A and B are shown apart, each in its own frame.
Chain A
């Protein structure tokens, strides 16, 4: 290896170590027998046992999972439509505003959207009588709103690089636009849909800021509960929650990677490349 190759490898190694070391330590210290989060006192699974026994925490986790599943699915539907409109129609009236509304949430500080949505819900409650109070439904709306942008960008990106001639052929042969969309377009962008759904799911599952503003007593997602207890101090129990979430993300991302690369290989073989 040349000197410069060595330098490049060390840059990557240090960078990845910076990204991963803190997470690895959370996983390791979730197995400590000590009551202190950063003291190693022998191997133990007691903190996982305490997690399972904590009903309030389990309830919050179950709520978070349902919330993430429903809002990711809604975001997938709306985001796919938005991505399709943006990728396939370079000009329509109101497109600039539409593109702005799709892209802005990706970069905007989340807290601004969170407080604005809360004020909207409160005002709607005052004027329309709905929602009379905040709860699961308002959380679903909020999470769908900030995750659909991610789906739209992924789908639009995939559509931009896909071959349009097959769609055009189907339309020329008399298939309706709707049928063309379901029979040709959807299968082509399927990996992007899977990736978009997974991203939306994990963003919703992890969300603290929006949830903190929109949640109500009785509908508190897990990260809001965790934030509350982290403010009071660290504990091996939170290490255990962190470890579980890191491992779940690891499994989900690797699964997505394997599916994508297998599919890529199959497509290349089929097209004789």
Chain B
């Protein structure tokens, strides 16, 4: 191998940092999730007292309807978000990829810009639109479509959470799709057209299969973090909207049951390990292809 003879000088510092501040914390959570809550500081039993460790927290999460609901609901909301983002994001990424290069750069910046603004501010912007006296209801009642005395309330509902999630995660979908479509060999689709294939057929047999890696990474990049989303359900879902992220923080801050909260976190991670590994596998494959 050319270049520096070994990776040690460049890798050692970030490697050590990530071992201490990324991997070790996960292991600590795993250990704490096996303890039980006590009154005191810290509010959990000694994780080094081996005989006292057990899986009680996991058992109670899995048998408790509250958590089962939150878990199922998180996965449902995240999957719907990924699907809706794909339906909106694919045509956008497709249209961007067909623009001339100069304009593509500007469009790319336009998509990245909201990604740089705080998700808190973006979610807050949604409250302005969705609340009872919000801008959507104002517009609808100005058009005579709703009764201003009894405006329908969208905020604090499934709908509000879903709209807020799609709004927040759309750039995460568009960027990998665009990265894939922009590199795609469009002459293949042209060849299909020249040989007489109708546009939909050229798309379905050439473009769609080639953009598969972009679709899968986009879906995973939305789905995985969306499962643990905290800000959107907290602000748009109302009190105790059942998602894992909100449940976890209630357990942690209000009930002060740290062992149970860690078990919820570890369980969430366990569910997401498979999609995370799939994502890394795709990243490695496209890295190898490049």
Binding site for B on A (CB under 8 A): 4, 8-9, 11-12, 15-16, 18-20, 22-23, 25-26, 29, 36-39, 77-79, 81-82, 84-85, 88-89, 91-92, 94-95, 98-105, 107-113, 115-117, 119-120, 122-123, 126, 141-142, 144-145, 148, 152, 160-161, 164, 167-168, 171, 177-178, 181, 199, 202, 205-206, 208-209, 212-213, 223, 226-227, 230-231, 234, 238-239, 241-242, 245-246, 249-250, 252-254, 257, 261
Contact = CB atoms under 8 A, between A and B. Distances in A.
Contacts of A164: 2-3
Given A8-B95, A22-B128, A171-B2, A108 B14 contact: no
Interface of B: 1-11, 13-15, 17-19, 21-26, 28-29, 32, 42, 47, 88-89, 91-92, 94-96, 98, 105, 107, 109-114, 116-122, 124-129, 131, 133-135, 138, 167, 170-171, 199, 220-221, 224-225, 227-231, 234-235, 245, 248-249, 252, 258, 261-262, 265, 268-269, 272, 276, 279-280, 283-284, 287, 290
A16 B95 contact: no
A165 B6 CA distance: 18
- SS class, residues of chain B in contact with chain A: helix
Contacts, number: 270
23 contacts: A8-B98, A22-B129, A82-B10, A85-B11, A98-B11, A102-B18, A103-B279, A107-B279, A109-B229, A111-B230, A116-B26, A120-B28, A122-B42, A148-B14, A160-B290, A177-B4, A177-B5, A231-B234, A234-B124, A238-B124, A250-B113, A252-B116, A253-B109
A254 B11 CA distance: 33
Given A25-B128, A100-B280, A115 B15 contact: no
A246 B128 contact: no
Given A104-B276, A111-B265, A126 B2 contact: no
Given A26-B121, A116-B25, 17 more contacts: A15-B91, A18-B170, A38-B134, A89-B3, A89-B10, A95-B7, A115-B248, A148-B14, A167-B3, A177-B4, A181-B4, A206-B118, A206-B120, A208-B119, A208-B230, A213-B252, A223-B120
Contacts of A4: 199
A160 B21 contact: no
Nearest to A201: B116
B23 A101 contact: yes
Given A22-B122, A22-B125, A115 B265 contact: yes
